[in-house]
C-alpha cells in the first residue's frame, strides 16, 4: 500500500473531473502523461506499479478490469503517489517497500534503497558456500534494511547472523524485515560502528559500505541524492574511506578459511584487493554484476 506520507505529494496537473467516474485505464493514461512530462523514464511502468498497490486486487485486478471505476479515496491516493514520483521520489519510497532477492523489504528515510546490483554479492557468497546445510555464522556490517543478511539466511537454513549498523533507526527497519520474513529466530541486530566492540569468529563477513566519492555525489540522480541517506552513500574524496576502516577489523573476526565479501564501486576493485591482501587475506577474486561492472571483491583467511 502507499505509505503514510503520501499526502506530501502534489496533485496531478492534468484535469480530472472528480464529479464523474474515473476508470483505472483513464487514470493510468493521465498519470503516465504526468510522469512523462516530469522526465521520468519508464513512466507507464511506474504508474502501473503505483496504481496496482492501491487497487484491492493489485496488478492482476488492473489487468482483468481496466475499466473498473476508482473510488474517491483510491483516486486521491493515486494522485498523491504520482505527485511524489513526479518529484523524483523512487517508487519504493512511495510504497515503502523494495523487492530484493525476490523478497519484500520495508525501506525508510533512514535506510539505503536496496539495489539489484547488490544481489551479485549474494550470488558470489552462495557460490563459495556450495553446501547450504552448513551452520554458518554470518556478520553483516552496515546492514541497513537487513536485505543482504536476510537474503542469505533465506538460502542457508542452518545459518544464523548478526547485522550491525550505526543507525538505530535503520536497525528498527531491519528487525521489522526479519520479523516479516519469519527470520527473527536466526537474525540479531545491534548498534556498532563497523567492527568496533565486536568479538567472536564469523564464517562470513559481508558489507556494502558507502563508496561514492564526493565528486560523484554531485552527479547522482535525484532519486538517489534526495532520498537515500548521505551517510550510506558517500565515503570521502576517493570513496575508499570505509574500506580502510572495516577491512582490518573484519579480517580479525574471521576464522581460518572464513570469507570476507564486499560490494565495491566502479573502478575500486584494485584498491580494495590491495587492502584485503594487506590485512592478511588470501586469494582475492572478483565478480561482475549484470552490467559487466566489477561489483564485488572476495577473499579468504587461510590462517587464524
Residues comprising the binding site for substrate?
208-211
Give binding residues for S-adenosyl-L-methionine as ranges: 142-146, 165, 194, 208
The CA-CA-CA angle for residues 12, 112, 209, to 5°, reads 155
Give binding residues as ranges: 142-146, 165, 194, 208-211
Amino acid at each position: 500500500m502507499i505509505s503514510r506520507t503520501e499526502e506530501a505529494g502534489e496533485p496531478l496537473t492534468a484535469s480530472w473531473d472528480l464529479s464523474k467516474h474515473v476508470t483505472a485505464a483513464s487514470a493510468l493514461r493521465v498519470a503516465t502523461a504526468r510522469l512523462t512530462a516530469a522526465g521520468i523514464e519508464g513512466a507507464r511502468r511506474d504508474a502501473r506499479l503505483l496504481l496496482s498497490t492501491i487497487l484491492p486486487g493489485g496488478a492482476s485486478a488492473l489487468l482483468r478490469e481496466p475499466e473498473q471505476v476508482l473510488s474517491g479515496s483510491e483516486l486521491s491516493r493515486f494522485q498523491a503517489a504520482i505527485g511524489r514520483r513526479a518529484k523524483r521520489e523512487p517508487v519504493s519510497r512511495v510504497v515503502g517497500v523494495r523487492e530484493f532477492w525476490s523478497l519484500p523489504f520495508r525501506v525508510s528515510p533512514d535506510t539505503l534503497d536496496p539495489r539489484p546490483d547488490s544481489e551479485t554479492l549474494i550470488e558470489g557468497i552462495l557460490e563459495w558456500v556450495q553446501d547450504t546445510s552448513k551452520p554458518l555464522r554470518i556478520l553483516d556490517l552496515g546492514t541497513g534494511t537487513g536485505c543482504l543478511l536476510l537474503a542469505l539466511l533465506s538460502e542457508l537454513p542452518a545459518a544464523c547472523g548478526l547485522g550491525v549498523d550505526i543507525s538505530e533507526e535503520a536497525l528498527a527497519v531491519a528487525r521489522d524485515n526479519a520479523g516479516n520474513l519469519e527470520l527473527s529466530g536466526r537474525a540479531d541486530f545491534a548498534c556498532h560502528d563497523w567492527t568496533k566492540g565486536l568479538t567472536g569468529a564469523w564464517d562470513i563477513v559481508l558489507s556494502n559500505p558507502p563508496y561514492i566519492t564526493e565528486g560523484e555525489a554531485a552527479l547522482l540522480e535525484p532519486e538517489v541524492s534526495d532520498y537515500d541517506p548521505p551517510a550510506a552513500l558517500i565515503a570521502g574524496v576517493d570513496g575508499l574511506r570505509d574500506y580502510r576502516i572495516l577491512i582490518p577489523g573484519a579480517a580479525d573476526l574471521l576464522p581460518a578459511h572464513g570469507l570476507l565479501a564486499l560490494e565495491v564501486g566502479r573502478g575500486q576493485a584494485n584498491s580494495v584487493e590491495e587492502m584485503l591482501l594487506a590485512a592478511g587475506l588470501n586469494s582475492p577474486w572478483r565478480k561482475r554484476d549484470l552490467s559487466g561492472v566489477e561489483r564485488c571483491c572476495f577473499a579468504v583467511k587461510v590462517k587464524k
